[in-house]
Amino acid sequence: MLKKYKIGFDVWALWILAVIMLPNIIWMIYSGPDDLFYKETVTPTVDVVMNIFRCLMLAALCFIRNKTATRSIKSSLPAVSGACCMFYYSAWIFYYCGQSNNLIIISLCIFPCLAFIVYAFFKKNPFAFVFAIIFTLLHIVSTAVNYII
């Protein structure tokens, strides 16, 4: 099984990471003092484990390549991943317009995760896929407990 994989750099994985991180960087620079996301976490252990899986997911996406993965853009999966990014950006726009309801908060959590999951599936990268699923589940728990419940 491991013979199908090689260590290499996937520029498109870095691209999707950059696209997803851009609104977070903007938020870090331009958020207000009463911002919802600046409150102290009530799930520090979950957050640490979540961030470990985030790093594992990103490393696997960027540096583990399946030799048999298609390079075709004819598949709809890249479009689905791109749509997830567009929904994510839309959620940020609503958030900056003062809409911080539960739907927006969960959208800010789910759509970037789905973009990574779909991309890992498209690239036939089970390592990144499993890390992305675990990261997503932990991210949902953290988001729900800290901002929704």
pLDDT tens-digit readout, 6-20: 898 988 889 889 999
pLDDT value, residue 70? 63
Query: Looking at the domain assignment, is residue 104 inside a domain?
Result: yes
What pTM does this model have? 0.88
Find how far residue 108's CA is from the centre of its chain: 9
Residue 16 resides in a domain: no
pLDDT of residue 57: 96
pLDDT < 70 stretches in the chain: 1-2, 32-34, 69-75, 77
pLDDT for res 4: 81
In a domain, 141, yes or no: yes
Res 40: pLDDT:
87
Q: Residue 51: what pLDDT?
A: 96
Residue ranges making up the domain that contains 127: 41-65+77-149
Q: Output the pLDDT for position 19.
A: 92
Other Cβ atoms less than 10 A from the Cβ of 7: the count is 7
Contact 107, 88 (CB under 8 A): yes
In a domain, 91, yes or no: yes
Is residue 50 in some structural domain? yes
Does residue 32 lie in a domain region?
A: no
- How far is 87 from 29, CA to CA, in rounded Å? 22
The total number of structural domains that make up the chain: 1
Residue 136 covered by a domain: yes
